[in-house]
Chain A
Amino acid sequence: QKEVEQNSGPLSVPEGAIASLNCTYSDRVSQSFFWYRQYSGKSPELIMSIYSNGDKEDGRFTAQLNKASQYVSLLIRDSQPSDSATYLCAVKDFNKFYFGSGTKLNVKP
């Protein structure tokens, strides 16, 4: 069983700041990593995927992967109140996703 660890939060940041969300995983073999956003009462939605070491940017979102340290992070620049949600880290093993418990982000106006 793969372990995916996230700080449950809540992480509170002021509007316009950078939010940094972190995730560690137990299996060195894992190759695919994903970030999902889940608003309260809604289903998870995919926001980023990353497969190679380094950074991947998509708009205000940047995913960072360090396979040697078994660490993946998500940076949200210019945070908005609408970014307030739970962010789930997921590690893919073949066709199965293993999810962390999620970090709740609060962006305060």
Chain B
Amino acid sequence: DAGVIQSPRHEVTEMGQEVTLRCKPISGHDYLFWYRQTMMRGLELLIYFNNNVPIDDSGMPEDRFSAKMPNASFSTLKIQPSEPRDSAVYFCASSPGQGGGYTFGSGTRLTVV
């Protein structure tokens, strides 16, 4: 299995631009999670899906952030408009469900200038 695949690996964008991060979970994993990691705040859960349905988006910082999972093999996290404080590493992770841990993707390092 190729693991959780994220793209792009790095993204540099100007403030105000739209940013879209992509994730392909491990086949057969029913749960997909989006996390953000910064030095100041560590790993923060933004949103998670179960069987393509958003279950908990309480971690999404504000309306500028949105996430979708149109099918079991693809999810996006969109930031519009982006701001410098959104600069972070964004991780996608998937899990087969009850019990067990997550498998993380390689992450997307986002820099908003």
Chain A residues engaging chain B, CB cutoff 8 angstroms: 32, 34, 36, 42-46, 49, 88, 90, 92, 95-102
Known: A88-B43, A102-B42. A95 touches B55 (CB 8 A): yes
Known: A32-B99, A43-B91. A99 touches B43 (CB 8 A): yes
B104 interface residue (CB < 8 Å to A)? yes
B31 interface residue (CB < 8 Å to A)? yes
A-B contact pairs, 25 of them (CB 8 A): A42-B106, A43-B104, A43-B105, A43-B106, A43-B107, A44-B43, A44-B91, A45-B104, A46-B102, A49-B100, A49-B101, A88-B43, A92-B101, A95-B31, A95-B48, A95-B50, A95-B98, A96-B48, A96-B56, A97-B33, A99-B42, A99-B43, A100-B42, A101-B42, A102-B42
